[in-house]
Structures are given as structure tokens and as C-alpha cells.
Structure 1
Amino acid sequence: MLFHSPNLSSYFNASRNSTSIRVWLKFTASISSLKVVWRKDQKLDEAVDNDKSWRQCAKVVKEVLNEPGQVIPLRYLEKRRERLRLPIKIETFLSRNPLLFDVYYDRIKPKTQPVKFLRLSDRLQRVLDENERIYVENEPLIVAKLCKLLMMSKDNVVSADKLVHVKREFGFPNDFLENLVPKYPDYFRLIGNPGEGNSFLELVSWNPRFAKSVIEQRADEESELTGIKIRPSFNWKLPSGFLIRKEMREWIRDWMERPYISPYDDASNLDQASQEMEKRTVGVFHELLSLSLYKRIPVPILGKFTEEYRFSNAFSSVFTRHSGIFYMSLKSGIKTAMLREAYKGDQLIDRDPLLKANDNFVELLAEGRKQREEQLNLQKQAVKNNVDMVSMRNSTLNDLDLTESEDLYSS
């Protein structure tokens, strides 16, 4: 169920009849003391779990890409399994993902015995080349995302090293600081050297086109469609069966009725403990998750930007306090903040154009595993055929022996 703040009371009245799952809380006047017990959402947990396999494969590919010449002795990669958190041996990994690498023999040093090396397969190289084309095609989107991240931040400056750390979350290419940022001097200024811990990316000019959140854009589109001025507001969505107690219903209703505060507005005059700051913080998280590829980001990663985006030290409680807007998955022991409205079941509703790069990689993995399964089936069929032939031969021999026995008996 999706609804804006005017529909809150009807939802809450209807929810009184639901008893299967309950959200308990302790309510006081202070925002920070509002406690909501976390409840599992199986479908959203499945969404997090769906891409665990390909992300693990991507780590191994990245390890090889970072090597000189993009080749590596197999035994060296085997020694890095623990760091890569790969639970299986490299040989097993290669057999399960046959289209990722070619295995060949070479010498690590002159006069040494040849050993197994890995290099990118032609199929994987074509995927990487295609992904480069996708990045070029969607460069305006990447620039807009980067501008938005800076425009929401304090003083419009963000640590360059932190941005590199979240490049995968937002779909930035690996070399965006080296090759993309210098192409747009009207937007960006890079201060210091990335990788040395003291470099920053600064916004040079403010573009009003980028200073509009997803929620504001949605309100504008609805206003244009209906001819009625729609106020920007969060969508509130909970799975059926959730019950919210009266005190929290009243607090949410009042909070939702407060004016929306854009994450691109100056928040320097807001009290950190005020409901206005809470409104702005929820807006920032909503926008950050909306800009991300999968509309979800691990909470520890968000925590790295506490200073840049003026988050409180207890910022993660926002995700459970506003459980109709967000969901916090605990899958794989990592807290991941998710945007509820972005999903239908375990599937994304609107897919970011940059996701095509990840899709290409996933399709390659699926094709390789299908190929492996077909080979295994052929091997099983060959073994079965051999068993059948042996059985048939033994049966024929038995028949011959029986015939000879009968002839002897007759004579």
C-alpha cells in the first residue's frame, strides 16, 4: 500500500485489525528516544541476497584487473582467498565460472618451471568493453549524480577517497576522478591527490536543474498530470500485517504533515535535535538511496559521510523509526538501508540505466554456469551410456552361455 500523509489515518485505522506482525516502540517527546523493534521483511532480504554471488565473482575479477598486465599466477590468487572471502578453492571457482578467465602456463621467473596463470577471457573482455560504452553513453547521468552528492553536502565538498569507496554503489566508473572529473571544470575541482587520505572534490558551480530531489520531481509530475498543485511528500509503504501503536501513529501523522525540506536546501540553521532536522535527514537518505544503483546502501558506508551530510551519531535509528519509508536488512551480518518504494517484492521497480553494466556481467556468469551444467549432464549421460553398454554386453554373454549350456544338454 502506497500513500501520502493525507491518507495516514485511514491506513492506521485499517491496520488495527492486523495482528500477525507487530512493531513495538517506546514513545516520548524526544525524537531520539522513539524506539521501533526491527522486523524482518523476507522479500527485501531476498533482494539483498540475489546479487551476493555475482559480487563475489566481481571481487575476483577486480583482483586480476589490478595486477600488472592483468594476469596472475593461480597459486598467488589462491593465497588471497581469505582476503577475498572466497569460501571455495580457486580451481573450484574457475570450474563453476568457466567464461571468466583463460588458464595458461608461463614462468614466474626465468628458468623456473611453468605454472598456471590466469588472464581475462575474450568473453569477459568484451563485457568490460561494452560496459565502458555504457559509461560513456550515460556520462550525463554520472555527472548529475556526482553534482547532487556534492550539492547535498556541507560546503559542497566531499572527500575524494570516500567517493571512490562508494563508486560501486552509485555506478561510477573506476577512473571517474582521473578521466571524468577533469572534463567538467565548470562543475568540479579536485583538491589534493586521491589515495593519500587528504583529497577532496569540490563543487565549482551550482546547477539549479540538479537541485531538485526525486520527491520534488514526483510532486511536479503529479501536479502537471492532475492540474492540481501537489505538495512534496514521502511515500509510506509497509507490508500487510504490520501494526503500529497509537502513539507512533500520531507522531508519524504529525511528522508527515510538516513541510518537506529538500536535501539541497541549506540546513546550517537547523537544530540537530529538531523535527525539521529529522525531516531533512530523512530527505537526504531518501535521495542518496534513490541515486544509488540498487536503491540500497550498506549502513557502514553511509556512516562514513556523517560529517559531510550532518548525520547524527545515532543516524541508523532513522531507518527503523521511519520503517514505512525505509527497511534495514541484516542479511549476511551487514546492515543495509533500503528504500521500500523502490521494490515490488524482491525486484526493483525502476532500474537505473547504469545497471546494464552489472547485468552484462551477471548474464556472462549465467551463461558460463549453464555451459558447465550442460557439460556435466553430457558427462553423466556418457557414464550412463557406458554402464548400459557394459550391462548389455554382459546380458548378451549370459544369453550365449545359456544357449551353449542348452546345446550341451540336448546333445
Structure 2
Amino acid sequence: MRRSVSEQEALPAGITFRLNKILRDKGKFGYGVIKEIHEYTKLERHLISKLIQGKVRSISWQTLGQICLYLRDKLDVDLADLPGILFGFEAAEFWEMLSQSDVTLTVGVRRVDGVERRWVNAYDAYLLGEVLNGLFRLGHEKLANLTQHLVLSYRRGEDLALCIDQAEGIHKAFHEEGGNRALICIGSVKSNPVTEWIAAEMFGARPFESQDRMRSAKRRTCPFFLQFRPDDPDTPSCHGGFRLATSRGSKTPGIYYETRSGRWECCPSAGTEDSALILYAYRPPEGTMELVLAGFSGRATGATALKLRALSLRAWPPNYDREHIKIGVFIVRFLFPEETDPQRAAWPMPVEPIDFDCTAVDEEVLARRLDRLKKQ
């Protein structure tokens, strides 16, 4: 049966409409784009806005045809590539936002007492390998330059100022160079201090200033918090420490996050449970993407590596989406089997979790903080 050109076709699950990306690639974003498309295609402005924002779940053949003609006639898009390039898998989009022309990778290094040797945590290295696998698995030929930085981790007795300065230099240089760039941080603030700069800038906090003395957790600048273990490095941090607030003496190590009601939930790191943080920010005006993959422990970092492909599906799309910035904040909870083999602790490979879930910090929680920053 012949279908009407005005009949709506639903987009299959997991498929996104990528008009926004094509417009960005052609330098067409910002003021005036909707008007230009409307004048050429005669499509309604509110529909064009939804198409650009990727908020449509169905599209008519007529609308699709008009968009294709606009792209061909006004932006010189090859007709042979249409309409295929207008559609993409969500997971591919996650990796595509990372696979900019220039990618900077950072991983923390620790110093051995009394010698000049440095070492990288085995699970951080394993996760780094999985990130590289993700970048290249989908054939991103645009990855023109890959830079790596070994960042000095802070620990008791270490020169904190040196750690801060090095991390700041990397973060500052990344933004000053601009263009299509991605910064990927392996490890939490306990091992990779560049993470602190990303979180602080994202939520308007003072980097490397502890907020443990806040009277109430709701006054914390960041909507997530790493409750350190007693023997963890006492790194001063805007999103980590040894106490959630003076009114709440939390003792369970793990990752806490604020819910819409204002309560703070805990994903513990103890026994058979562990947790990780996935944090990213994409800034279309700058063309930059920052990503933090932070397992609370080595075990959680290894599990993040093993489940990275699945997590890239669950940590997309961003849970805070504005024209100038798109932010994703996700807390991962892992469940591990009871350890019965006494030799298992000596095995070098990560432990496979028997279950995991990925919780998006509520958009309203993020908006309470981020919308306020936009007004300042």
C-alpha cells in the first residue's frame, strides 16, 4: 500500500535525528538558523526547532524531503549521503562527541616513597585501554591528534600546590586552544586532580576547597559527593571529602547524590557493592567535550571498563540540555559476587559485576544549580 508523504514514521528505538550535528559541522548554529530553514522549506518554526533539538520521535516523508533539499541546496551536502547521515545510533553519538579532531587523555600517577619511580593504577590503565577501544571501534577517521598527560596524584605529604598547578595548566590549555576538542579524565579526584577542575567549573565551585563544613548537604555546590574512606588521600575537593555536611556525619564510603526531593542517596563502596561517577559536559559554542570516568575504587574502575560499552548507552542522552551546554551526571552502582576464592584477590583482571545500574541525577536537581549560574 502506497503511503502518504505526510504520514508520520516513528523513529526506531535507539535512533536519533542528527540535524543539529550537520548544522554545527557546516557552521550553521545559533541565531537565524530556524528562520533560514523556515523560509526555504516552509516548515513550521516550532517543528524546525524540535528537529534541531532532536526532540522528534516521528517524522513525515514530506518533512524529511524538505530538510534534505535544504541541506543539499543551501549547505552543499552530497545528495548521496542523504537521508542516511541525518540518523544515528545513540551510543555512536556518545562516542562521536568524544571523537573530536583532537583528544586529550589524562590519567593520575603516584610516586613511590624515596625513589623516582612513578606508577599508574592497573585498573586506570585497563579503563584507558577500553576508552581507546571505544574511540577507534566505530572508525572515527577524524581523530587527528591524540595527546596524553600523566598527572601527579595527591596524597598525604605530597606537594598539593604542585598537583593543583599541573592539573590547572592542562585544563586551562585545553580551553584556550578551543576548536573541536575532547578532554577525557580517567579516575576520580582521589587519583586525577584534573577531575576537580572540570567539576568545579561545571557547577561554579572553588576548586580544591573542601565543603565538609557545610551545615546542610543541600548547600553543597555539586549535586554529588565522594565520601572518602579513612585511608584515602585527604585531597581537598568541592565534591569529595570525609563528611557530607556537619549536620550529617556520613560514615559509609561511596558516592552520594541529591534527589529531586532534596534527600541524598548513597551508592556504597563496601562488601559486594561499589560505585562510579560518569560526568560530562559538551559546549556547542566552543566545540569542546569533557568527560570524567571515576570509579570510587580500583574494583569499581575495573567494572566501569568491563561495562563501558553498555554504560555509554545508559549515560546518554545528557540529563541537562541547554543550547549553550549539555551536561550528563550519572551514578553507577555495581553488585559483585561474594568472594569465595582466597586466590582471587591476586588475579590481575577486573572483577566482573553480576549486576549494575546507571542512575541519572535528576534534571531538576541540576537545573537548581546550573540555571542559577547562567543568570550570574
TM-score under structure 2 length normalisation: 0.28
Structure with greater helix share of residues: 1
Larger radius of gyration: 1
Structure with greater strand share of residues: 2
TM-score under structure 1 length normalisation: 0.26
